[in-house]
Structure 1
Amino acid sequence: MTAMGEQVAAAADAYSETGHPLEIMHDLTQTYESVAQSANQGCGVSEPMPRLAQLVAASPVDAALHDAYGKTLAANSYNLLGKDYVNRDLSHYLNEDFQGETLDQYTLRSPKDCMPLYHLVGALDPLADADLPNRLNDGLPETLGEWIVHDQLTHMKIKLNGDDLAWDVERVIAVEAAAAAAQETLACTQWHYSLDFNEKCANVQYVLDFLAKLEEGSPAALSRVQYIEQPTHRDLRANPENRMHEAARIKPVVIDESLVDFESLLLARELGYSGVALKACKGHGEALLMGAAAQKHNLFLCVQDLTCIGASFLHSASLAARIPGIAAIEGNGRQYCPAGNADWETPYPGMFQLQNGTVATGALIEPGLGFSNPR
């Protein structure tokens, strides 16, 4: 992947045409398959590189182009998406339904002032003191209850197994108990969960059984579930029997790893998925395009990260803050590798020191992607 990223960067450097970053990157994406093959050969790898890996490998170039374009014009990149700046409308990237439309119609001219942050509750993360045989005493909260009180959290992403129904149900009920105890000390009555089965559910029936059992065991916990992240295998074409219509009537079910292009979004919609998870690491322009497509089709929207820290977290947050309909963002870098945020905390304190469970995305208004390197 590193080799592919380097080759995409070289191709961007050698690109001789002029145009908006969306247009340049769209042209470069046509070469990803051949570039991936070349990178594999150079590294002695025989297994084909998945499309998702290709997008991730090329994403730094995509982000850099959008950032440089904005900084060159002394303007925020999210405000350079209209007809005054682009040469192709969205039908060039999506389909005829987007004829005459541009991304400024699907993005905000100013970022949302603040956004709730989804805190990750890992399968092994301690919920209460009884789950801690030994304390680390590293200065950070160590149980879910402590994190909730420390950051006044209102959004939690719960990691589940997907192949152990009883454990999954009991885990959510246990999270609800720990959260309720902590929220009581804050006089907070409203908080939310997202559920991530890591694609481990064998079929949609597992999800339906889980939701039914959770309703039996804790109606309150079920009521707090905001959405369910891709519960079954990411290969939608190979598993067309995994139709999500019935589950999506209960809670939004979003595609994540499956989302690699517009065609995969349309296929997921056909299979009953009712939402889309955007990630900056799949490509900045690609995320904007998928955000527009999701809005056009009235799909639930969320933005997720991959333990992003520093600039990568600010990038992810700036994306979430500029797309209508996204109510919260993920950011677990502060939990697992907080040292990576150290250089960024002084210039952007509100992005790394939560207030009422939110981050201050309104600060991301600088030229480019909304922030600048503090060094």
Structure 2
Amino acid sequence: MTAPKVKLGAVRLGIGNAFARMPFRFGVVTMDAAASLTLELEMTVDGKHSVGYASDLLAYKWFDKRPEKTPADNVADLLWVVHLAASIAKDLPADTPFELWKQLDVAVDRAALAGGFNRLGASFGVSMIERAMIDGVGKALGLSFRAMLTNDALGLRPVDIFPQLDGMSLEDAIPSRPLTRLNLRHTIGMVDPLTAADPFEPVNDGLPETLEDYLREDGIRYLKIKLGGDLSTDIERLQAIAGVLAGGDYRIAATLDGNEQYKHLDDFAALMEAIRSRPALASLFAATLFVEQPLERSVALASPLDAKALDAIGLPLLIDEADGWTSAYREAINLGYHGVSHKNCKGVIRSLLNAMLATHHSHLAGRPGAYFQSAEDLTCLPAVSLQADLAVVAVLGIGHVERNGHHYFRGLEHLSVAEAEAALAIHPDLYERKDGRVQLAIHDGTLRVGSLEAPGLGSSVTPNLKDRISPANWSFEMLNRTNHA
């Protein structure tokens, strides 16, 4: 089919306050509440009116970790860049979704930098409009995300961005059908309890709380382990995790998250050498697939990675926070990185292009999978945000996905009863009712996502913005539990 002409229109925003069941470490801060932004975008698709939705947490101290910025500043900046993207989008003439994304990506990136924000934050503004646009196009045409790609409904022209992809098709880089099951990769945060013997305040709400609980009750087979940047503390933590795994004879695969804790790769290599020298960590190291973003973003792409340090690390490195603009992964490959994270908050079309880059460079290396994408998003919450991200992960064919929203937040209680019930009714494979609440359904460590193959970007649940707070009436103080009560 010919890609439709889309005219983007008015945007409405609503904020919901999501209160965690336990504190969690997100970037460089520990938090117990977050603001969840939902965006409603009106548009016409070949003259037909349609509405699309996007949602995400306004995650402070991740997009922008500058110490002079407070968490409230971070949230204000994210709202600003979404308003900026919406204003630019509304003025764009009708065009294909890809052309609109391309223009928006350049314009918001330029304006965000001029306004004192960073490129990763600019990507968030673009992605909120992009996701809602894709959702609205799919609903107007009656096509799922995979079907939109099959039918070229987005009008993708990868060679316009990366000339080296000339002669290559997106179909070369993704499976012919979306995955219907995804392995859940459980993140072990730096303050998360490992066993019931650890010093922590139990929630006692009937849901798993410790690492041991998740391994035993949910059958988790993939782990993501956060590192703190202090060698002795990290080694002690890793040995405790290895002890839990050995004690229960749990067979897992793992990834390590460096959390931008290092300015010099040699310092991270010293940690990896310490890990490799300890017999108690031999099994854990052997089970580790890759390392995510050890270097702080300001230096991560500044120069080629030192070959000696890479040999000492012994695992492929992946960029996450450093993937702040459309060509970042291509630049990272040239410097010695092999992987890049997929996150909807950085952009859907960017991830499609990155899938093609990974396939292209793996072919050049003569090793399938030598270059790769991972699926990372710590606190992606139901329904719109979680389902859109899982839909993209399933289409990309990434078999395991970081997912901890169900760990830090209680079921779908951050949504209205009507929305939670609608999510369960429409997506009974992904959600279940247990102990009187609607929650994510985890079976043998996996999520069932077949129902996400529906018109739009993964979600048939229509959010009600009347249940949310307009940004003009919202304040950061609303995240204070005392104020909430």
TM-score, with length taken from structure 2: 0.69
1:146-157 aligned within 5 A: 146-157=213-224
Instruction: Answer with 83-92 or 302-311: which moved more.
Output: 83-92
Residue 69 of structure 1 corresponds to which residue in structure 2?
137
Equivalents in 1 of 2:263, 2:155: separation in Å? 45
Equivalents in 2 of 1:138, 1:295: separation in Å? 44
Residue 389 of structure 2 corresponds to which residue in structure 1?
316
SS class of match (1:254): strand
1:255-270 aligned within 5 A: 255-270=319-334
Equivalents in 2 of 1:303, 1:120: separation in Å? 12
Q: Which of 355, 379, 382 in structure 2 is aligned with 1:291?
A: 355
Give 1:349 deviation, angstroms: 4.1
Equivalents in 2 of 1:291, 1:78: separation in Å? 14
Matched, 1:337 2:416: no
Q: Which of 343, 361, 374 in structure 2 is aligned with 1:279?
A: 343
Give 1:209 deviation, angstroms: 2.2
Equivalents in 2 of 1:370, 1:141: separation in Å? 27
Give the gaps of 5 or more residues in structure 2. Answer: 1-77, 363-370, 431-439, 464-485
Q: Is the 8 A contact 1:276 1:301 kept in 2?
A: yes
Give percent identity, aligned residues only: 27
Matched, 1:26 2:102: yes
1:349-364 aligned within 5 A: 349-351=428-430, 352-364=440-452
Residue 45 of structure 1 corresponds to which residue in structure 2?
none
Equivalents in 1 of 2:113, 2:239: separation in Å? 47
Residue 220 of structure 1 corresponds to which residue in structure 2?
283
Matched, 1:348 2:414: no
Q: Which of 245, 250, 256 in structure 2 is aligned with 1:179?
A: 245
Residues 100-143 of structure 1 show CA distances to partners (whole Å, capped at 9, x for unaligned) of 44434323342112111111111111111220354221222221
Give 1:241 deviation, angstroms: 6.1
TM-score, with length taken from structure 1: 0.87
Q: Is the 8 A contact 1:69 1:77 kept in 2?
A: no
Give 1:168 deviation, angstroms: 1.1
SS class of match (1:125): coil
Q: Is the 8 A contact 1:120 1:157 kept in 2?
A: yes
Residues 22-71 of structure 1 show CA distances to partners (whole Å, capped at 9, x for unaligned) of 22111122211454368x4xxxxxxx110100011221110011111111
- Kindly indicate which of the two structures has a greater share of residues assigned to helix: 1
Q: Which of 286, 293, 307 in structure 1 is aligned with 2:379?
A: 307
Residues 236-272 of structure 1 show CA distances to partners (whole Å, capped at 9, x for unaligned) of 4774265367537721210111113343222211221
Q: Is the 8 A contact 1:157 1:194 kept in 2?
A: yes
Residue 8 of structure 1 corresponds to which residue in structure 2?
85
Give 1:181 deviation, angstroms: 2.6
Residue 79 of structure 1 corresponds to which residue in structure 2?
147
Give the gaps of 5 or more residues in structure 1. Answer: 41-47
Amino acid at match of 1:140: L
Residue 240 of structure 1 corresponds to which residue in structure 2?
303
Residue 43 of structure 1 corresponds to which residue in structure 2?
none
Q: Is the 8 A contact 2:318 2:341 kept in 1?
A: yes
Amino acid at match of 2:335: L
Equivalents in 2 of 1:80, 1:374: separation in Å? 20
Instruction: Answer with 212-221 or 7-16: which moved more.
Output: 7-16
Q: Which of 437, 448, 454 in structure 2 is aligned with 1:366?
A: 454
Does the C-alpha gap of structure 1 residues 109 and 366 become closer, same or farther in structure 2, counting only changes over 3 Å? farther
Amino acid at match of 2:123: L
Q: Is the 8 A contact 1:70 1:367 kept in 2?
A: yes
Residues 129-184 of structure 1 show CA distances to partners (whole Å, capped at 9, x for unaligned) of 2203542212222211012111110111111112x1121122112112112334x3
Q: How many residues align?
A: 358
Matched, 1:139 2:206: yes
Equivalents in 2 of 1:86, 1:142: separation in Å? 42
Equivalents in 2 of 1:142, 1:267: separation in Å? 40
